[in-house]
Amino acid sequence: MKNSFPKTPALLRQRLKEYWRYLNHWFLNTPERALLEAQQAAQRIRNIEIEHFDNKKISSESVKYTENVMSYWQGYLDKNLTIIKIRLAEFQLSRGIINISNSVLLEKLKVIDEVVEKYAIKDEQISNSGLGSTYPPLQINRSEIKKQPDSSNINDIKATLPPQSTGVFPRSIRKTVNRIKSDLAPQAEEEFVRNYRVSRNRTIIALRFMIILITVPLLTQYLSKEFLVTPILERIRGENATQIFINSDMEKEALHELHNFQQSLKFEYLLNQAPPLSSELTQEKIKDKAFEISEEFRNKSNSNIGNVFADLISLVSFSIVIALSKREIMILKSFMDTVVYGLSDSAKAFLIILVTDIFVGFHSPDGWEVLLAGLAEHLGLPASRNVIFLFIATFPVILNTIFKYWIFRYLSRLSPSALATLKEMDE
């Protein structure tokens, strides 16, 4: 990796100019490149429609395929629609910086729009299904509000629900009859299959987005550190850098390791397991060990500095994923709400007690201390015990207050039985 850099300043400047010209050319071609990739993805969808779906939309309604075959084409469709979405976002972002306009771009956009418009209904079904509340909105009686004096209590303002229809039979019997009628309707099976597919697609999108949120920052951090940050640091710091340690803790650790090596030589000599060494030979061994330790801690210092820049790049990549995934975030939120609200009251209470005990419980300070010390070592910072203890004395208290407020304000309203179970388990 070190030999990949030029040795002389002139070659280095020439190489940097070449890199700059390449990056400049790559940046200026970003709008056309992004739009071309989006058009290619749209064309792939059109080819599948022509060859396998009689020039119709990729759907089970167009051609009767088996479920496994349809699942394959559905995955192929989702993949290309995602490519179109990402590349169009890249095109719009880069076009705001680089102002270009020609007839070729308009033709490509026309081809893309023709494909995307066919599958807009699919996206609406996935995003709308399960994302909104099924209850009718409350309607405020504004005439009653105007009649109230200015000093009236806010609790006197009544929210009027839609009028409930009354009949001869109780509501439960009517609901049961309506459910039976809907189950026996001719389109009941198609409706069930459609709802199942929408639910399955929503679950696949949510799980895939969770994996992306985890893997993209980790891969970005690792790749940027190994192939970008570390080579630059090794070139800048050099092999003969006098500053080996970036904090006092690393220096103390290196001196402690060298002292242990000296004591081990003396211990082996006293046990007659090693021949007596002259002072010159002993100093030579100690010098070699010191050089080995310096190399080890120089690499460790470079790694810690590289972690800082790689983590920042990883944070930027995570922010980009969040900014480009508003629809996926809504679907993930709906999926998490379904999972959480589907738990029993005992399971909800168990998870709340588990989370609170881990982060704000009696034994949590030990865990916070280990976590903060590991973070300081990862970033190459000295692990100051005063800072760690100050953090432990304030942050878990704030978390505990937030947990108690959430339990008092929301859990008592959303799930009173879970709150009662929580109190029983806590006692």
Whether the pLDDT of residue 335 is over 70: the answer is: yes
Query: What mean pLDDT comes out for the span 129-150?
Result: 42
Give the pair of three-digit tokens for residue 333: 């939120």
Maximum average pLDDT range among 34-48, 207-221, 370-384: 207-221
Q: For residue 328, which of 197, 213, 215, 217 has the smallest C-alpha distance?
A: 213
Whether the pLDDT of residue 22 is over 90: the answer is: no
Q: What is the pTM of this model?
A: 0.56
Give 1 or 358, the one with higher predicted confidence: 358
Q: For a pLDDT cut of 90, what percent of the chain falls above it? A: 8
pLDDT confidence of residue 145: 39
pLDDT confidence of residue 140: 40
Give the pair of three-digit tokens for residue 278: 């002259």
| Residue pLDDT, tens place only, 71-85 | 788 888 888 888 888
In the chain, the N- to C-terminal Cα span, in Å, equals: 61
Q: What are phi and psi of 382, to 5 degrees?
A: -70, 135
pLDDT confidence of residue 212: 92
62 to 44, 66, 76, 136: CA distances (angstroms): 18, 13, 16, 35
Residue 381 CA from chain centroid, whole number: 26
Query: What mean pLDDT comes out for the span 141-156?
Result: 43
**pLDDT band, residue 125 (cuts 50/70/90):** very low
Give the pair of three-digit tokens for residue 301: 């210092």
Q: What angle do CA 120, 199, 173 make, to 5 degrees?
A: 115
**pLDDT band, residue 167 (cuts 50/70/90):** low
Residues near 273 by beta carbon (within 8 Å), at least 6 away in sequence: none
Distance from C-alpha of 381 to C-alpha of 372, rounded to nearest angstrom? 11
Query: What mean pLDDT comes out for the span 410-426?
Result: 76
Task: Region of 238 please: left (phi>0), alpha (psi -120 to 50) or beta.
Answer: left
Q: For residue 282, which of 298, 302, 262 has the smallest C-alpha distance?
A: 262
Distance from C-alpha of 381 to C-alpha of 376, rounded to nearest angstrom? 5
Whether the pLDDT of residue 311 is over 80: the answer is: yes
3-class DSSP assignment, residue 19: helix
Roughly what angle, to the nearest 10 degrees, separates helices 120-128 and 326-341?
40
11-21: string of b/e by CB count within 10 Å (b at 16+)?
eeeeeeeeeee
| Residue pLDDT, tens place only, 234-292 | 888 765 556 777 888 888 888 898 889 888 888 877 776 556 666 777 788 888 888 88
Query: What mean pLDDT comes out for the span 193-199?
Result: 80
pLDDT, averaged across the chain? 76
Whether the pLDDT of residue 316 is over 90: the answer is: yes
Other residues' Cβ atoms within 10 Å of the Cβ of residue 115? 21
